[in-house]
Amino acid sequence: MSNVRAAIRSAGFIVVTVGLYSIYLLGRSLLFLVNANPTTWRTKMVRRWAKACGAIIQLDTKIEGTPPDPPFLLVSNHLSYVDILPFFVAMDCVFVAKSDVKSWPVLGRMAAGINIIFIDRETKRDIPRVNRLIEKNINSHQGIVIFPEGTTTKGDQIKKFNSSLLEYAASRNFPVSYSSITYCTTDPDKPAHEWVCWWGDMTFVSHFFNMLKLSSIQATVRFGEDKIQDKDRKQLAKSLHERVQQQFTPIVKENYDIYG
C-alpha cells in the first residue's frame, strides 16, 4: 500500500511542479503587459507550489513566532530538501543552495528558473560571487534564507555555522533573523531522522520515494523573537548558532559539544 501511495504522490508532485512552473514562465513573459513586479509574481507562484506539494505529502507545519518581512536575511538549521516548503509558504524568500541541486530531476530545473542562488561549496573562490548575489537580491519584495551549517543533518545537533555568507550582514551591520526546523512522523517505525532528514550517503531519488510512503509528516518551524547584529561575521555566526541551538528540538538526541 505504501508503494502505491508513493507512486501516486510522485505523479502528483511532477504534475503540480511542471504545471505551475509552466504557468509561472508564461506569466513571467507577459508581466510587461500589466507592469507587474517579477519578484512578486515569482513568490506568489512559488508559494502556491509549496502549498500544493505540502498537501501532496501531507506535510502539517506548525509555525511558532513571527516570520520576518522583507528585506531580511535569515539563517536556519538544515535537515532536508523538504525544509524549503514551510519556508516558502511562510515568507517571500530566495534560498542559497548547493550547486549540485541543479542536477536534481524536475526540481533542479525549477530551482534555476526561480532564481535560487547556487553556491559551489567546494570552491572558496565562489563565495564572493554568492555574497554579491545575496546583496543584490535582498530587497523590499523578498529576503534571503541561508543554511550556514553547509549541509543537511539527521537532526541530532546544530553543526557549527560557517560565517562566509554572512559577509553582507557583518559589513553593513544588517540585522539577521534566525529560525529552527524539526520534524516528526506519525509512524514510530519510520522515524523522521531516517525518513525525512536527508543526510550521509542517502541518494535523492530513493530517499524521496521512501519519504512519499509516509502517511504524514509534522514540521515545526520556530522563528526567533529578535535579530542579531555584529560587525564581526565570525562572532555573528557564533551568536546565531547559539540562538538557533537554544530553540532547536533535536530529532535524535546525542551528546555533542560544538565549541568545546
Cell of 196: 525525512
Question: Binning pLDDT at 50, 70 and 90, where does residue 259 land?
Answer: very low
Residue 15 has pLDDT above 60, yes or no: yes
Of the candidates 149, 152, 15, the residue with the CA atom closest to the CA atom of residue 82: 152
pLDDT recorded at residue 35: 84
pLDDT band, residue 5 (cuts 50/70/90): very high
Query: Is the pLDDT score of 260 beyond 80?
Result: no
Strands 73-76 and 143-146: parallel
CB atoms within 10 A of CB 237: 24
C-alpha cell belonging to residue 132: 554579491
Question: pLDDT value at position 115?
Answer: 87
106-119 pLDDT, tens digit per residue, is: 777 788 888 899 99
Asked whether residue 256 carries a pLDDT value surpassing 60, the answer given is: no
The pTM (predicted TM-score) of the whole model is: 0.92
User: Which cell numbers hold the place of 42?
Assistant: 515569482
Task: Give tens-digit pLDDT for 237-254.
Answer: 999 999 999 999 999 865
pLDDT in tens, 141-188: 999 999 999 999 999 999 999 999 999 999 999 999 999 999 999 988
- At 191, the pLDDT band (50, 70, 90 cuts) reads very high
3-state secondary structure of 225: coil
Tens of pLDDT, residues 19-50: 999 999 999 999 888 788 999 999 999 999 99
> Half-sphere exposure of residue 257, counting CA atoms within 13 Å on the CB side?
2
Main-chain phi, psi angles of 183, to 5 degrees: -135, 160
